[in-house]
Structure 1
Amino acid sequence: MHIQIDVDQFKSGAINKPISVPGTYKRLEQHPASVSNIFSSMVDGTIESVDIMIFILVLGGLIGVVKASGAFESGLAALSTKTKGKEFILVFLVTVLLALGGTLCGIEEEAVAFYPILAPVFIAMGYDSIVCVGAIFLASSLGTTFSVINPFSVVIASNAAGTTFTQGMAGRIFGLVIAVTCLLFYLHWYARKVQQDPQFSYSYDDREKFDQMWGMTTSEEKDQRFTLKKKIILILFACAFPIMIWGVMAKGWAFPNMASAFLTIAIIIMFLTCFGHQDGLGEYKTTTAFSDGAASLVGVSLIIGLARGINKVLNDGYISDTILYASSKMVAHMNGSFFIIVMMLVFFVLGFIVPSSSGLAVLAMPILAPLADTVHIPRYTVVTAYQFGQYAMLFLAPTGLVMATLQMLDMRYYHFQRFVWPVVVFVLIFGGGLLVTEVLIAG
């Protein structure tokens, strides 16, 4: 049937959805969907996605409780104290930690909360708002771009593609290390230039306004002590992700299992956060923190369900098969290397139209991932192309997190874009090279 896929891929569960068989397309009687069918399909798609949605809500609740405990803030405050006199060490550590947060759980949106914490520290070090952008926005976004186990992108995309997120993980880890290393060199070059000559700052025109907004004050009375309890909370939070990897790789966990593991850790952290003579939040604040964290990701969860409903309409009406057939004819004579570069550029464009990583994953992956079968390359390479392409666009698109960053720092888009565009070029060139390498190795 011209399908060159190792049978072990099916036995191991690496491919768990129907694959397209080249040369078997036939035109059938049309089954147009009515308006009522479209809306009911969205509901059905949401029901089918409930396992992923629950997992995302539990993860949001876990992050909310950890944030409410003050463990994140105290940990960063402790880092700033340890690195006094060695300013760039703090930038280095924050960049690495947020890159890890991005690659582990897509902590981009949550990273916005770190601006009020780190901006005053960076000002005291002689840095500017651009350094904040690099250490927080770029680090977390670059970590997500080269995501290893981010549930909101690579896990959902792999599931929608009919493969597992553990495939291609080695390549993504390699890419992450190289990308973060290059970002650190870029940040070090820029930060040193600004310290030596403040007028070199890309945002020098707004420096006084930025300093007035975020200058150090002594009126804050929030407890920033990095207590043993907060250390334990951060350790438990960090342990959730290697446990998830172990469960998927060794035990064949699905989303319900992962949600159960995260919920268990969340409950333990809630008990630690709730009780305590001086730093206990109490039952109400603790449960509210979990609810608020989950609520912040309701939109993401609904997007997944509703988008899957759109896929249901496409599948029931055989529309996706027609699109797949037309696309497969377009790439029929492409070699694998050229195909994967085209896929990355397609996702780059789609990233502006659909800025949600999870939304684009469930919309596009069921249609585009099977095209990899027609050119005899692994489906996980399309998942990687989706990551590189979409996030290269999200570095620049004046929507979502970019707007939140500009608003938080009161920064002009031109200043932001001037600093960020080299990273976009790097992602496309380096990412493209990494994709071609994966295709050649797989071939």
Structure 2
Amino acid sequence: MASRVPHVFVILFSVILLAAIATYVVTPGEYDRAEDANGRMIAVDGSYHPVEADRAGFMDVFQAVYTGMTGAADIIFYIFIVGGSFGILRSTNVIEGAVGSISKRMAGREKLIIPVLMVFFALGGAMLGLAEETIPYITILVPLMLRLGFDSMTGAAVVLLGTSAGFASAFMNPFTVGVAQGIAQIPVFSGMGLRLIMWVVFVGVSIWFVMRYADKVKKDPQSSITYDSDLTRKEKQSPTEQFVGLTGRQKLVLTILLATLVVLAIGVSKLGWYLTEIAGLFLLMGVLMGIVSKLSLNDIAEAFIEGCRTLVMGALVVGVARGILVVLQDGKIMDTILYGLANAVGSLPTSLTAIGMYFVQCLISYIIPSGSGQAAVTMPIMAPLGDLVGVTRQTAVLAFQLGDGISNIFTPTSGYFMAGLALAGVSWVKWAKWLLPLIICHYILGAVFVTIAHLIGYQ
């Protein structure tokens, strides 16, 4: 029987069990805490001292999951409400309409449709945290790319790579940047300037990579990595297939979305909005979208529930991951781990301390596929660790964001990514060989931006 990658809940519960065992092995200790200028309680460097042990019992392992859920309730319900609101957005079919409208407008300018659509999906990844939600558009774009003289690889890349580049370098993704900054206790969506520059660079390099390949396929179809399978697909393609544009109501929905993002930017930058206000804004957005789309109240409710349903695992992962923190804190070994990491990272040259954190996040992303879940596992450790080794919390969040996002369309443990390749008819092996140079480039760019952030004292 073929081996399977353990489910993320299996991995997290195993880590909870290991954390409980660690309370019997690791020397308990604590840092003194003091309030900083921003009102945050941070560990005082040099104050670590041993304390009396408080080892985890048998039932503590199981109770930690519930305690973690209640401790992460604000983040969990934020994810549900925002996800439900996006469910209403998806039910209006506005993204399908926008893709169709772009496709019609770009007729006769085939090559330009690639950067236009990739920017469109990159904005969705950067501003709305779209990932799984973009998979259905592969079924639209693969036939379109074949019709325009490209191949299935190009169609899959426009969606997957466009979304992922935007997601990894996001400037206001509510599910990664928002959650991580919330846990790190820094203003949500702060530090947007550097992230905008990073987004332009990541998306620009990704567009160049795809267009270079697409141009090669356009000139010589047999150079396509998916040439044989595409021949069969083209034979089955309907010559009368149409791509519908935006309706009048969908244009109103798009206007509401843009207005929401403007209000969101003003709220978090000028009014000090946090999770409660942001969740309320997105809920209002969803309701207004449903009303202008002439959905019944029941349909709006059902779309909201469906949106929540797609994020159940991600939201629950946050709570289960918090259970690890509960065991470590209650067992009084959390600060001991911080002390050990601080010594390890602190032994690096000053310019490499942030890179060490980035490297750890890159490795963890291959184990925990959920961005929100990885934030929940790592940021309670990385944020105070940054305080101890001279890395700003904003830089720690950036290291998490890049470490989590870059691997999303490369690792076979990413469910939505593998589903997207299946819809496109592209094997993971072919995709991985084709994408490897760009992934290496993204990791290098990530290291560069984390280093820049560290050197400028990114806030």
Residue of structure 2 equivalent to 1:379: 393
Equivalent position of 2:317 in the other structure: 303
Compared with structure 1, are the counterparts of its residues 238 and 299 closer, same or farther at alpha carbon in structure 2 (3 Å cutoff)?
Answer: farther
- Structure 2 distance, partners of 1:174, 1:36, is 49
Q: Is this contact kept in 2: 1:124–1:216, CA < 8 A?
A: no
CA displacement, residues 400-419 of structure 1 (integer Å, 9 cap, x when unaligned): 23311221112111211122
> Following TM superposition, by how much is the alpha carbon of 1:86 offset from its aligned partner in structure 2, in angstroms?
0.4
Query: Please, which of 288, 292, 316 is the counterpart of residue 272 of structure 1?
Result: 292
Q: Is the alpha carbon distance of 1:216 and 1:426 closer, same or farther for their aligned partners in structure 2, counting shifts above 3 Å?
A: farther
Alignment of 1:24-423 (within 5 A): 24-211=47-234, 215-216=237-238, 218=240, 224-273=244-293, 275=294, 281-399=295-413, 400-423=415-438
Alignment check: 8 A CA contact 1:62 1:263 kept:
yes
Equivalent position amino acid for 1:267 in 2 = V
CA RMSD of aligned residues (A): 2.3
> Per-residue CA shift, 1:20-63, capped at 9, x if unaligned?
11111111121112232232222122123222222222222222
Mapped partners of 2:143, 2:230: distance in 1:
13
CA contact (8 A) 1:38 1:310 kept: no
Determine if the alignment matches structure 1 residue 436 to structure 2 residue 451: yes
**Cα distance in 1, alignment partners of residues 244 and 299 from structure 2:** 18
* More displaced stretch, 358-367 vs 285-294: 285-294
Map Cα deviations across residues 408-438 of structure 1 (whole Å, 9 max, x no partner). 1121112111222122111111111111112
CA drift at 1:219: 7.4
Identity %: 29
After superposition, the C-alpha distances for 1:155-210 in whole angstroms (9 at most, x for unaligned) are 11122223234343211111110111111211221111111101111222322244
Task: State the Cα deviation string for residues 203-259 of structure 1 (Å, max 9, x = none).
Answer: 22322244356x346478xx9352221101012123323322322222222211111
Q: What letter matches 1:375 in structure 2?
A: V
Deviation at 1:296, TM superposition (A): 0.9
Distance in 1 between the 2:347 and 2:261 partners?
41
Q: C-alpha distance in 1, partners of 2:292/2:451?
A: 47
What does residue 278 of structure 1 align with? none
The CA deviation at 1:334 is 2.3
Q: Is the 8 A contact 1:395 1:424 kept in 2?
A: no
Distance 2:318 2:260 in 1: 23
Normalised TM-score (structure 1): 0.90
CA contact (8 A) 1:108 1:141 kept: yes
- Aligned mates of 1:79, 1:154 — CA distance in 2: 29
Q: Distance in 2 between matches of 1:42 and 1:7?
A: 30
Secondary structure of the residue that 1:355 maps to in structure 2?
coil
Unaligned runs of 5+ in 2: 1-31
Please state whether the residue corresponding to 1:442 is helix, strand or coil. coil
The match for 1:427 is 442
Q: 1:299 corresponds to which letter in structure 2?
A: M
Alpha-carbon deviations, 1:72-94, whole Å to 9, x = none? 11111111111100012222221
Task: Work out whether residues 383 and 393 of structure 2, in 8 Å CA contact, stay in contact via their aligned partners in 1.
Answer: yes
| Aligned-partner Cα distance in 1 for 2:47–2:233 | 62
Query: Structure 1, residues 351-390: CA drift from partner, whole Å, max 9, x if none?
Result: 1111111111110111122222222221111111112222
Structure 1 equivalent of residue 24 of structure 2: none
C-alpha separation in 1, matches of 2:97 and 2:190 = 36
4+ residue runs over 4 A deviation: 5-8, 217-220
Q: Which moved more, 1:78-87 or 1:64-73?
A: 64-73
Once the two structures are TM-superposed, the CA of residue 108 in structure 1 deviates from its matched residue by 1.1
SS at match of 1:31: coil
Distance 1:247 1:401 in 2: 32
How big is each residue's C-alpha offset from its partner over 1:286-313, in whole Å with a ceiling of 9 and x where there is no partner? 3322211121112111111221122122
State the SS of the aligned residue for 1:126.
Answer: coil
Give, in angstroms, the shift of residue 7 of structure 1. 5.7
Return the alpha-carbon distance in structure 2 between the equivalents of residues 209 and 30 of structure 1.
66
Instruction: Provide the C-alpha distance between the structure 2 equivalents of 1:36 and 1:7, rounded to a whole number of angstroms.
Output: 36
